[in-house]
Amino acid sequence: MDAKHGTPRALTEAEIHEYVELYAQAARNAIEAGLDGVEIHSANGYLNDQFFQDVTNQRTDKYGGSIENRSRFGLEVVDAVARAIGEERTAFRISPWNTSMGKFSSLHQLERETDLICLKVCTWPTPSHNTPTSSVN
């Protein structure tokens, strides 16, 4: 890293809890602004993806190590957002076969090894018609 940005460091557990609440507040703000729902982007190197990926998550606490632990932050975010705005308005995007972190991550094992994450694709009517739409990668 350069002098302007400094060296990255792991978030403290207190900071993690603060970020979870920030996601929930952002979702509340989106609904208040008139949006139908939110999609929590947890792929392509975004913060949740950095927790999921074994190539970036080098933590040794309850947020690192096993797939279940690396999934903890993302699941806490989903739970907080769903409580804030409702499950029917909450979508979650992951990309388990993503190589944006420089190599193939072991996150792809999640689908085969555990039922820890249940990905619910939410659909919302668009203003132009009443047919539900969804986006799945």
Residue 122, phi then psi, degrees to nearest 5: -90, 145
What is the DSSP code (8-state) at residue 72?
H
Task: Note if 46 is an active site residue.
Answer: yes
> Which position among 19, 23, 46, 63 bears the catalytic label?
46
Report residue 14 as tokens: 């207190």
Q: Other C-beta atoms within 10 Å of 93: how many? A: 18
- Other Cβ atoms less than 10 A from the Cβ of 38: the count is 21
Q: Which residues are catalytic?
A: 46
